[in-house]
Amino acid sequence: MKKHIKGLHHVTSMAADAQVNNAFFTQTLGLRRVKKTVNFDDPGTYHLYYGDKTGTPGSVMTYFPFGQMPKGKRGNGEVGVTEFAVAKDTLGFWQDRLSEQGVTGLSRSTFLGENRLAFDGSDGDGFALVETERSGRTAWTSAGVDEETGILGFHGARFRLNDAAATAELLTFMGYEKDETDGNVTRYRIEDGNAARTIDLEELPGASSAYQGAGSVHHIAFAVENRAAQDEMRKALLDTGYQVTPVIDRDYFHAIYFRTPGGILFEIATNEPGFDRDEDTAHLGEALKLPAMYQPYRSRIESALPVLAQRR
């Protein structure tokens, strides 16, 4: 099979309060809100997208803020850490900034030669900033974060698993290559893709399973160029025995989903058409965008959603 997977596309997590979530990503982390829409399966809930200037695949963190939702409990069978890339020598800046803003869970470490700063998201999400090469990426600048220090997009993700073997086999099937191991964590990398290219498998035999809630990753999406590549991947996965959904139109990309042996929900999403298909790049994420099926109910939907600060 051709190597269709190009690295990460987006990561989608669950949150409690939409306003807190919006403030954390646009102000504390300085990402751009690139789309304000609703959960296509539940239009009473926002679907918020944060990323770089245009929401380049490999930079997009997305949220369903469900309101009154209990926090998740971290454990096996989930994405344990979502990793953002920053330029070399910027972790000191970030440690000071996050500490001043009351962010918890700050912890510096090194893994496979890369400097990391772990921190908690606003719902206790597991995050890390990792110093790496810029790889041609440009940070969105706002809220006291400049081009030197800004988040470049994803670096990768770390999965927590009871047994890593079946997930390792799946990643290899998807085109990832086994890289180095340090302790109970083995890195897999995708070559010739975007810069969000690593998946680390952390094996924790016998640890308790995750309980999904606010702060948990709902699913992780991998990028393919277009519908044709997605169709080939879908067929290959079905032939291998995976239960894969039909192709679903998410307005800004097309998506297929399948549950993986380690318990994590994977999505494969197309790089096209992108987040600027229905609004100007200069005003991305400002207006509430609705899929066609909900357009007739705009006023009712909009009045039921919390108002979000308009900072870009």
Residue 37 within binding range of Zn ion, rule CB under 5 A: no
* 78 vs 267, beta carbon nearer Zn ion: 267
* 83 vs 267, beta carbon nearer Zn ion: 267
* 12 vs 22, beta carbon nearer Zn ion: 12
In whole angstroms, how close is the CB of 10 to Zn ion at the nearest point?
Answer: 6
Rounded CA separation 149/104 (Å): 20
* In contact, 230 and 15? CB cutoff 8 Å: no
* In contact, 78 and 263? CB cutoff 8 Å: yes
In whole angstroms, how close is the CB of 221 to Zn ion at the nearest point?
Answer: 4
* 69 vs 221, beta carbon nearer Zn ion: 221
**Which residues from 149-168 bind Zn ion, rule CB under 5 A?**
none
Rounded CA separation 141/125 (Å): 23
In whole angstroms, how close is the CB of 247 to Zn ion at the nearest point?
Answer: 13
Q: Which of 53, 51, 66, 98 is nearest to 221 (CA)?
A: 51
Residue 13 within binding range of Zn ion, rule CB under 5 A: no
* In contact, 128 and 83? CB cutoff 8 Å: yes
**Taken in order 50, 80, 213, 292, is the CA torsion positive or negative?**
positive
Backbone torsions φ then ψ of 255, nearest 5 degrees: -130, 145
* In contact, 114 and 131? CB cutoff 8 Å: yes
> Binding pattern to Zn ion, positions 219-248, x when CB under 5 A?
--x---------------------------
> Binding pattern to Zn ion, positions 261-280, x when CB under 5 A?
------x-------------
In whole angstroms, how close is the CB of 269 to Zn ion at the nearest point?
Answer: 6
Q: Which of 312, 217, 298, 242 is nearest to 43 (CA)?
A: 298
Count residues binding Zn ion (CB under 5 A). 3
Residue 12 within binding range of Zn ion, rule CB under 5 A: yes
* 12 vs 26, beta carbon nearer Zn ion: 12
Instruction: Give the residues lining the site for Zn ion (CB under 5 A).
Output: 12, 221, 267
